[in-house]
Structure 1
Amino acid sequence: MKTDDIEAFVAVIRSGSLNAAALSLGLTQPAITRRLQSLEQDLGVDLLDRHTKPLKPTRLGQEVYGHCRAILREMDALRERVAGDAPPSGLLRLGVPQTLGDALLLEAVKDIRTRYPELRTQVATGWGSVLVNRIEQGELDGALVLFPANKVFPDGVEARPLGAMSLQVVGAHDQVPGRAQRLADIQGQGWVLNPDGCGFRSSLQRTLAEQGQALRINLETYGTELQLGLVADGQGLGLVPAPLLARSAHRDRLAAIPLKDFKPEIQLWLIHPPFLGALQEVVEGFGRGAQGLLEG
């Protein structure tokens, strides 16, 4: 049984296609096919259901996939142990939430490149549940996610809280009332929010539903700064972590709306696989840097 064959099988399951697996490993599709066939011959079983798209493992193939991932982790651990005190090098795969991308990506990546010139950084954005799943699947080395403080993470995902942030409802400065309001009182202005999948939006929608109100969306768009610019222009209300409001270029044209019945809070988490080897210090530094940026 060859390590290359195991690596090819894991890549196919992760990506769901032979083409994508070939691209990720820098191989041709026929080469990936040969490696899969070699592994199946060594084990004497069919690992893939080739009648489905995307490709899915058979029931036994799913079990083999778990063992193969463990083998590759142990191989990585062995390489790191032999490398000793060598500085981190190779590929670092990080994830950040859609909401924090504007605030964190540029400075965080620049800091990593300065501190670890031998590392090549690859960053993905996504909702928290997607990033957690990618950590589980071994597709990311570390990620920042936003979840409630009582979030329970799956086995195989190490999580450390970095701090709580209040979520603030904001509006254009000249349209914000001076006294505390109820959510139903301002609902008529409509909202500028992330598309479906955003935890902030879900929290707001649940609270409104409990009050017999329907969420009224004026604009859906990614990017916190873009949303805040639209809110500042009077296009509706926004919902944003307080540190991002403080850092926004539009902050002088915005104001937080004090609410009596909606005061949500979110926790910033750093998550990663249990074993990272030499990348451990880099991922933890990434978390500290994000924490510092938001606190600042």
Structure 2
Amino acid sequence: MDTRFLESFVQIVEFGSIAEAARRLDLTPTAVSLRIKALEAEVGTTLIERAGRTVRPTLAGGKVIEQARLILGEVKTFNSLASSTDLPAGPLILGAAPSALKGMLPCILKKWMAIYPDINVLIEPGPSTPLYDRVQQGELDAAILVHPAFDIPKSLNWRLLRTERLILLTRSEMAGMNPFDIIRQAPFIRYDRRVVAGKMAADYLEAHQIRPHVRLELDGIDYIANLVEAGLGVSVLPDWADADRIAPTLLRHSLPEHVPTRNLGLLWQRASARERLVLAFLELAGP
């Protein structure tokens, strides 16, 4: 049985879409459909069916999906162990939250390529919540993400890499003004409250009895910074960027205590066959 067919089957079930599975596998939808037909012909039964605009496993497909995941996991372990070096075989499959991808990651990758030129790194950007789920499911070797608002289970390891306090981001002409006065008076761009730091910012303002005039709400710190730079409002955000990554027209204001922080770190599965690869990466991520 070709494990590539199993991989296509698992991806379709995960995302409920042949088109999305094709995008993830860097294939055409037709190629993915042909893989599924070949797999169904081999096992002698239909594994997926359409349900409106989505695709779902049939009764038979639902019975074998977990076994398919286990087989793919074993193949991944086999490939990792079949290495001619002290480390598992590459690539290192790494998830990265957007702020990590534009912040700390380039420096780490420069070190990695200098020390391990023969081990590639496959980077998959995304929000912290889906990255967490994909590490837990074994789809990613590790991910740099924001610590979730709950305790991490013992099956996963976490290492803190960076702590970021909340700041007020404005245009530079607001220098010297009281940050709370700015938030009360200026149009406000709210960081999405569905993400960890966005909820932190909302709770912080509520605790200080500040109710800003919210004009926009969205996820994506760099997107919000662009809107602030365009003069569309001000925002309370994690202090995500080093000084050389902030536009000269922008200004970061310190906020009155007690200011919450968000923690960025590396998450990976404990005692997996590829943990040594992750630990090698983690060693380069230190000071």
- TM-score range (shorter-chain normalised) is 0.7 to 0.9
3-state secondary structure, aligned to 2:51: coil
RMSD, aligned α-carbons: 3.8
| Residue in structure 2 matched with residue 162 of structure 1 by the alignment | 161
Following the alignment from structure 2 to structure 1, what is the Cα–Cα distance between the partners of residues 20 and 229? 42
Q: Give the 5 Å matches for 1:175-190.
A: 175-177=174-176, 183=180, 186-190=183-187
| Residue in structure 2 matched with residue 258 of structure 1 by the alignment | 255
| Residue in structure 1 matched with residue 211 of structure 2 by the alignment | 213
3-state secondary structure, aligned to 1:95: strand
How many residues end up aligned between the 2 structures?
283
Q: Give the 5 Å matches for 1:264-283.
A: 264-274=260-270, 276-277=272-273, 279-283=274-278
Following the alignment from structure 1 to structure 2, what is the Cα–Cα distance between the partners of residues 138 and 222? 26
Matched letter for residue 144 of structure 1 = I
Matched letter for residue 234 of structure 2 = L
3-state secondary structure, aligned to 1:73: helix
1:37 counterpart (37, 40, 47):
40
Following the alignment from structure 2 to structure 1, what is the Cα–Cα distance between the partners of residues 140 and 38? 24
Matched letter for residue 160 of structure 2 = P
- The answer as to whether partners of 1:192 and 1:219 remain within 8 angstroms in 2 is yes
Q: Give the 5 Å matches for 1:188-267.
A: 188-192=185-189, 194=191, 197-208=194-205, 211=209, 213=211, 216-217=214-215, 222-224=220-222, 227-228=224-225, 231=228, 235-242=232-239, 244-250=241-247, 254-260=251-257, 263-267=259-263
Larger % of helix: which? 1
Q: Note the alpha carbon deviations across 1:64-118, whole angstroms, 9 max, x for none.
A: 3223222222222233334353655543322221233321343333333333323
Q: Note the alpha carbon deviations across 1:224-250, whole angstroms, 9 max, x for none.
A: 3x6446546755333343462545344
Residue 283 of structure 1, CA deviation: 2.9
TM-score normalised to structure 1 length: 0.73
Residue 202 of structure 1, CA deviation: 2.6
3-state secondary structure, aligned to 1:33: helix
Structure 2 residue ranges without an equivalent (≥5):
none
- The answer as to whether partners of 1:232 and 1:254 remain within 8 angstroms in 2 is no
Percent of paired sites with the same residue: 21
Structure 1 residue ranges without an equivalent (≥5):
none
151-160 vs 125-134, greater mean Cα deviation: 151-160
Residue 19 of structure 1, CA deviation: 4.7
